[in-house]
Each structure stands twice: as C-alpha cells, then as structure tokens.
Amino acid sequence: MTLKSFVLMKTAFVFPGQGSQYVGMGKSLAEKFAAARAIFDQADEALGFPLTQLCFEGPAETLQLTENMQPALLTVSVAAWRVLDQQNVHPDFVAGHSVGEFSALVCAKSLAFADAVRLVRKRGQYMQEAVPVGVGAMAALLKLPAGNLESILALACQTEASQGEVVAAAGFNSPDQVVIAGHTGAVGRAVELAKAAGARRALLLPVSAPFHCALMEPAQQRLKADLDATEFRDLTVPLVNGWQAQVVHTGAEAREGLYQQVPNPVRWTEVIQKLSSLGVTRFIEVGAGGVLTGLLRNIGSALESSKFGEAEDLEKVHAAIA
C-alpha cells in the first residue's frame, strides 16, 4: 500500500486553447463513445455546418481559421469531458487556457454546450475581424533571462519605426515561456531584442491575429452583447480563471472573466500555481493534443499530469487516478 492510497488527491481538469488543434482530433472518441458522438452532432446542429467533418477530415487550412478552430477545440474538449463524466472521473477544480475556459465552464455546468459553441464561433470571427491579416503578430520567447521582458517590450515601441505600434505580453505560459502579441513590426523588434538579451529561442507563431493584447479590444466589445444575452449559471465545480488566476463560483464572475480575457494576457503559470495552492496535485488535460501537459512539467515537477483526447488515453487516465 502506497502513501498515495491514503492521501485524498485533488484533481483539476484543464482544457486547451488554440495551438492544440490537428486534423483527426476527436474522431476516435466519437467512434468509440456514443456520448462523445452526441456532442459532435449537437455542435453541427448548433452551428448549422458540419464542424465534425472539419475536425475529422480537415482540410487543415480551413480548420486553422480562428472562427473554425475555436468551436472545434471546444467540441473536442466537451466530447472528451462527457466520456470522463460517464466513466465517473470528476474534477475538484477546472481551468482553461484562453478559449479553453469556455470548455471548463461547460464542464462546471455554468454554460450550456450549444450556447458555448455559438459564442466561441462568434468570438473567433470577432477576433479575426478586429485586426487585418498581416497587421498583427505573436511570438514566443523561451527562457528569456529574468527582468528583461518589460524593457524589451518598451524598447520595441520606442524606435522611430514604431509610429504608435504596440506589443505586450499575451500569455505567461510557464516560467520558461512568455508569448507576446501586437503590431507585426513591434513584435518583430521585440523578438530581435529578446535574442540579444539571451533568450534561448524567440520565434514568430503561425497565427492569424494578435490575441490577448489591446488590439483585441474591438472584438471584446462586440462579444459583450453576446455574453450578456447568454445564461451563465453558478458553477458546480470551482474554476480558476485565466484573466486574474482567481477562483470563480458564480455565473456573473464567469461571464466577466470571458469578457476580460479577450484583450488581456493569459496568466497560465499563476493559474496552475493557484490550483496547486488549493491542494491540487493531479491534472488531466481534457481535449486535443498535449500542450498543457508539457507546460505543467515546467511549472511544477511534482505535479502529476495525464491527458485525455483520444480513446486510447482512457486506460492511462484510469491508471493515473487509481
């Protein structure tokens, strides 16, 4: 008998955001589990087009469009969660990275799935339309020496070429990874400054818009009316939001968090640290890919993590919680 057998471990479900998508995601879940298939059917009906076919068959360039990618990721995550729910695998807390927070709120019974999938479809459209293609960019800075970020972002906006351009932190993903976003020119200058400051890597990301920065404020304002028109119930499972890394219990708090996250950075490192401080030691990434599982290893080496996005993952999840 191990010590683990005597300790009541708290579990958090974490739901991925953009960057986790791939053609074929969710297909094995739908083929093996009727509960998952039902979620894909509901998504197709709610949106009025075959999102399921796009998830399973692509083409990749159409799936990559933000307005398609966001509802696709949500649908796969919710399908995976429904399978876990039927297997009596339940969380003590939930959290989601960016658009993944919508998935977390569906899991917490705050947001109906049909409402969520329509909301994230509009969210993706508003974000894409907020900034013309090519005007904005994002980049990842890996292992940037501490204390350099603010000065790099300031310098990138103070050159003669800047002419009012902005760049800001868009995501604190782990102690070793910061994502920045803003005007293309300013992001490019910040990348070069980060390299000069000793970052191990600084690279532009293949995205269609500069998410989680001030350039997204037009999208935020357009989304507000849709959020206000949607019912948010109080959560059955507490959520740690990405905007403040604070615990959320009420529907009003959940709605406000989705509104505020659009132009503000994702504080993912703080989210995981908050969950850890609340006694969570076990994390299950629910949805496509394994991006969050990789980040967890860099945030806390003692934290247990597993993922569930394909049918074959279920056995590993059961082993992890045994």
Q: pLDDT tens, 255-278?
A: 999 999 999 999 999 999 999 999
Q: pLDDT tens, 115-163?
A: 999 999 999 999 999 999 889 999 999 999 999 999 999 999 987 767 8
Terminal Cα distance for the chain, rounded: 12
Beta carbons of 177 and 140 less than 8 angstroms apart: yes
Q: How much is the pLDDT for 7?
A: 55
pTM over 0.85: yes
Q: Is 152 helix (H, G, I), strand (E, B) or coil?
A: helix
The residue assigned the tokens 């890394």 is: 245
Active-site entry in 97, 174, 183, 212: 212
Q: pLDDT tens, 204-221?
A: 998 889 999 999 999 999
Q: pLDDT tens, 29-57?
A: 999 999 999 999 999 999 999 999 999 99
Tokens of 54: 């796009």
- Does residue 183 surpass a pLDDT of 50? yes
Mark whether 212 is an active-site residue. yes
Active-site entry in 20, 77, 98, 174: 98
Give the strands of the sheet with 247-248, arranged side by side: 247-248, 239-240, 93-96, 10-15, 280-286, 304-308
For residue 193, the one-letter residue type is: L
Calculate what percentage of the chain has a pLDDT beyond 90.
Answer: 91
Q: How much is the pLDDT for 300?
A: 87
Beta carbons of 157 and 107 less than 8 angstroms apart: no
- Does residue 312 surpass a pLDDT of 80? yes
Mark whether 183 is an active-site residue. no
